[in-house]
Amino acid sequence: MKLNLDVLVNKCEMIRPRYYTIASSSVFAPNLLTVALSVEKFESPDGQRTGLVSKYLQDIFEGKSTLSCKIFVKESNFGMPPSDAQPAPPMLMVGPGTGIVPFIGFL
């Protein structure tokens, strides 16, 4: 059986969207959106490899690529307690899977 390119491409999985947590505050800088990410690096039998999307975004940021990407922002589930409460209630901040990034925006 001969495999043609159309069949091969149709069998490949599409690259799924990546979700990143916003690391900036819309209260402090309403016209600025900052995203923090780390470039995934790992060893493979072919040598050192990097993450597909994180490396792509790093290349754009560093000016090594003239490509661009679409960004979609969805409403946040994070919120600070009211600042007018006296005494100020203590906060327990937990980052399940998000790491430190959302706390950067809070700070």
Q: Which two tokens stand for residue 32?
A: 């600025």
Q: What is the C-alpha end-to-end distance of the chain, expressed in Å?
A: 60
pLDDT, tens digit, for every residue of 59-99? 988 999 888 888 777 776 766 767 776 777 777 777 666 67
User: How does pLDDT run across 22-60, given as a tens digit for each residue?
Assistant: 888 888 888 888 888 888 888 989 888 888 888 888 898
**pLDDT at res. 64:** 92
Rounded distance between C-alpha atoms, residue 50 and residue 102, angstroms = 24
- The separation between CA 33 and the C-alpha centre of its own chain, rounded to angstroms, equals 12
Decide: pTM greater than 0.85: no
CA 61 to CA 55: how far, in whole Å? 10
What three-state secondary structure class fits 57?
helix
CA-nearest of 79, 102, 86, 78 to 22 is 102
Q: What CA–CA distance (Å, rounded) separates 67 from 50?
A: 18
Phi, psi of 49 (to 5 degrees): -120, 160
